[in-house]
Structure 1
């Protein structure tokens, strides 16, 4: 069983249609993104034995609907502190409805926020949103990184996130499935661009650059419904890592994520 002072994680939902992650310490329960309806996030939390009424904070990565759909209703219903950078707030507020000024917290990128026993570092990424940023969480010597919705990973980001204990890493698409699929060419170009999404192979190579001795848990996230599957993503990532002598299943575990079924709560 996890000890009482562990950093606990559950990916409640992750896909191109909706994203939300739950993070828990002894003093804080937070969400990262709320890209599903409020009731779906409430039920996802119940499925892992957690009560949404205990959540105190919500960190938003960017203003796309699959990351903010439930932000407004959750903030209003549960009086959450919502954190996002200034430009994201400006883009997001017209989409989420009115929330209390007390719940609006500006957290500009490349900063660290300390909440009692939880430190949160943010970092900017390359995506076609107004000012996207993702997060690294610290508690009791453990680190968890969320990195999805980026077209590439810079050396600066690599250094920021290296050797974390756990990662939620984007594996949005299989390149051949995307190229041969039904999407119009401009959308394919957007996904493949430096402001689009990481492919399975991109995600694997990013992991190769950042995995360290501390790394024990890896979640493959933000899979496209049309251009990927869990089996394809896991196979491609595992193959790349094993080809470069990484100990998949021995030194660390790889977890699937799902658009509708929450991953079990685990301790890092």
Structure 2
């Protein structure tokens, strides 16, 4: 079967992604109520009983809002590093010890035949991470909520077949927007969010590898638009001499209010 995934929803109102290899099915974050998570999963014909665990990227509410309720409802283990557990402990609520699993930053774990590795990213959270998923043949990387992509991050995701990468904002829209300056400064900073141009810069360095598709994620509803994000990312890539044919590489959309179709990572 290979690795398949769907970005169930992505944006400042909530985030969740489901990844499966046919034997193991994992949820990355659960930034909605349990009811909404169940609805989003159902839209991809997945039930909560089919999940094998929840991986946490960081403790911000748009990533963990429903984690406790979903974990209790379906008796799921939750995986996060120690600092993230400490930061989200009260918001997740009571869970048996056997459902609280420490998954250290930089650690790798095997979930059946699905190999998962976490890696550090730069964001204003306790110890935020991205995740890579491999099955020996294919690789999916999920990395959002980062102020910039370090060399280590780029190394971790460089040999991906498919990526989910943040393209949070258009810089000028953010600068002209209604947010107070301290919030704008946070978003624009190294511990904030990746802009369209920054995402394009990252991709211009990685497109020489095997990546076939990149899903632009965590788009701001205030300071970005889907078509603008795709146009700006592509423009930033071309400005750096990185040109491509749509038959060779595609920029794909994610949505704040619905799931993306299933993507089979190994397919062209």
Q: Is 1:218 equivalent to 2:217 in the alignment? A: no
Q: Is 1:90 equivalent to 2:86 in the alignment? A: yes
Corresponding residue number in structure 2 for 1:249: 246
| Contact 2:212 2:249 (C-alpha < 8 Å) held by counterparts | yes
Task: Give the 5 Å matches for 1:30-45.
Answer: 30-45=26-41
Q: Is 1:139 equivalent to 2:107 in the alignment? A: no
| Contact 2:204 2:242 (C-alpha < 8 Å) held by counterparts | no
The Cα of 1:248 is off from its aligned counterpart by 4.5
Deviations for 1:209-242, whole angstroms, at most 9, x for unmatched residues? 2234421121000011111111111111122234
**Using the alignment, how far apart are the partners of 2:209 and 2:37 within structure 1?**
33
Q: Is 1:148 equivalent to 2:137 in the alignment? A: no
Deviations for 1:112-171, whole angstroms, at most 9, x for unmatched residues? 111121111111111100111110111141111111111111111111110201111000
Corresponding residue number in structure 2 for 1:165: 161
- Equivalent in 107, 112, 119 of residue 123 of structure 1: 119
Structure 1 residue runs without a partner (length 5+)? none
Q: How many residues align?
A: 264
Corresponding residue number in structure 2 for 1:175: 171
C-alpha root-mean-square deviation of aligned residues, in Å? Answer: 1.1
The Cα of 1:26 is off from its aligned counterpart by 2.2
Divergent runs of 4+, >3 A: none
Deviations for 1:83-138, whole angstroms, at most 9, x for unmatched residues? 00000001111111111111111011011111121111111111100111110111
What secondary structure does 2:27 align onto?
A: strand
**Using the alignment, how far apart are the partners of 1:242 and 1:203 within structure 2?**
12
| Contact 1:13 1:261 (C-alpha < 8 Å) held by counterparts | yes
Question: TM-score, normalised on structure 1?
Answer: 0.95
- Shifted more, 231-240 versus 126-135: the winner is 231-240
The Cα of 1:250 is off from its aligned counterpart by 1.8
What secondary structure does 2:148 align onto?
A: coil
Q: Is 1:259 equivalent to 2:256 in the alignment? A: yes
Corresponding residue number in structure 2 for 1:232: 228
Q: Is 1:72 equivalent to 2:68 in the alignment? A: yes
| Contact 2:139 2:162 (C-alpha < 8 Å) held by counterparts | yes
**Using the alignment, how far apart are the partners of 1:35 and 1:147 within structure 2?**
16
The Cα of 1:246 is off from its aligned counterpart by 3.1
**Using the alignment, how far apart are the partners of 2:140 and 2:118 within structure 1?**
12
Structure 2 residue runs without a partner (length 5+)? none
